[in-house]
Amino acid sequence: MHTGKMEGCKHFRLLFGINTAAEFFNIEVLYPQIDPLYLSSFVGCFQQGFIRKSISIEIQLQNPFNRRNICWIKLTGRIVETTDRLFPEMMGTIEDISMQKAAERKKDDFIAFLNHEIRNPLSTVKLYVQMIGKIAGFKNQSELVDLCGKANEQVEAMTTLATTFLDMSAMETGVMTLDRQRFCLETFLKSYKAELDMLYSGYRFILLTDPAVYVMADQAKLVQVLNNLISNAMKYSPKNGLISVSYKTCGNEVCISVEDQGRGIKKDGQEMLFSRYYRTTEEDLTKIKGYGIGLYLVKKIVELHCGKVGVVSRKNKGSRFYFTLPVHQKVN
């Protein structure tokens, strides 16, 4: 970058449409082939590369080989210090990742399909099931009420699954945004606990609170975080088991916890719990359904709120999953 001069192999020259036979060429020769949306990132990446001693960037090229299909490439490189040159050099590789990007695009299309063609009808089904359950309740048809409750749980599970895939896609593409609002955490959790009591009568829920505290957060995303933690607690707890939701303020942070009295997790399996697609290898837990993305999303959503996640667990002694949020205002 100090001289602006580059050299590249035959494939590199073909990708960027470089026709000169000269051994070296100016880096600006590459610019016309780079999609304008990525040009500034490309230039900035090289400028910062000499400070960070390495580069790694994915960019889209315009009409490579005069083809109409989109071409994506990945550039990686590192600084090589030499004693016989006035300026340091950068050496790197180029990789065609067009097929990978095409696969990602198909995945995004499928996620969009889930959103429009599955999740929306599920909301309608849920409404009808709840209405039938209420009518059955008025007529004292307890068996039908029970069946509607089970049907509602399955609809909730399907809706959660669709939402999870949508949010994971948004997280990976960096387009997930937060609708932050200031609210009282105690009031929020009391409302959430009341909903748990109504939806999951087969478990006992308790709420333990500290002095009132306000946070600035996305309530819908926090509900999703809590739903994932509560879902895990119910999966690994016995029927009619006790599950507690609590929060405790410590300095400028508030720690929200979900604790169960279930099977617990071995120490050596706890570090990977928040990794994407991770599933425990413990024999007695592998039969429990899951996709290994719930806790991954919990971590990512909490990190978007500038918080952190963790777990405290002992085998056969239960687990406590917790996450922190910055305190916006304490109320004495």
Tell me how crowded residue 23 is: count the other CB atoms within 10 A of its CB.
8
Confidence of residue 160 (pLDDT cuts 50, 70, 90): confident
Name the helix (H) or strand (E) containing 85: none
pLDDT for the residue 188: 95
Name the helix (H) or strand (E) containing 92: strand 89-96
Confidence of residue 208 (pLDDT cuts 50, 70, 90): very high
- Do the Cβ atoms of 62 and 88 come closer than 8 Å? no
Burial of 129 (0-12, 13-18, 19+ CB in 10 A): buried
Residue with tokens 């120490």: 267
Among the ranges given (62-76, 96-110, 303-317), the one the predictor scored with the smallest mean pLDDT? 62-76
- Do the Cβ atoms of 33 and 67 come closer than 8 Å? no
User: How far is Cα 217 from Cα 172, in angstroms, rounded to an integer?
Assistant: 21
User: How far is Cα 266 from Cα 247, in angstroms, rounded to an integer?
Assistant: 25
Angle at 299 between CA 232 and CA 254, to 5 degrees: 90
User: How far is Cα 55 from Cα 45, in angstroms, rounded to an integer?
Assistant: 6
Pick 63 or 127 by higher pLDDT: 127
User: How far is Cα 298 from Cα 148, in angstroms, rounded to an integer?
Assistant: 29
pLDDT for the residue 57: 85
Q: Give CA separation, 192 vs 38, 225, 229, in Å.
A: 44, 12, 13
Running DSSP on this structure, what letter comes out for residue 64?
A: G
User: How far is Cα 296 from Cα 63, in angstroms, rounded to an integer?
Assistant: 38
pLDDT in tens, 229-274: 998 888 888 888 899 999 999 889 999 999 998 888 877 767 778 8
The pLDDT > 90 percentage for the chain reads 20
Residue 214 has pLDDT above 90, yes or no: yes
Running DSSP on this structure, what letter comes out for residue 29?
A: G
User: How far is Cα 58 from Cα 46, in angstroms, rounded to an integer?
Assistant: 12
User: How far is Cα 278 from Cα 276, in angstroms, rounded to an integer?
Assistant: 6
Confidence of residue 309 (pLDDT cuts 50, 70, 90): very high
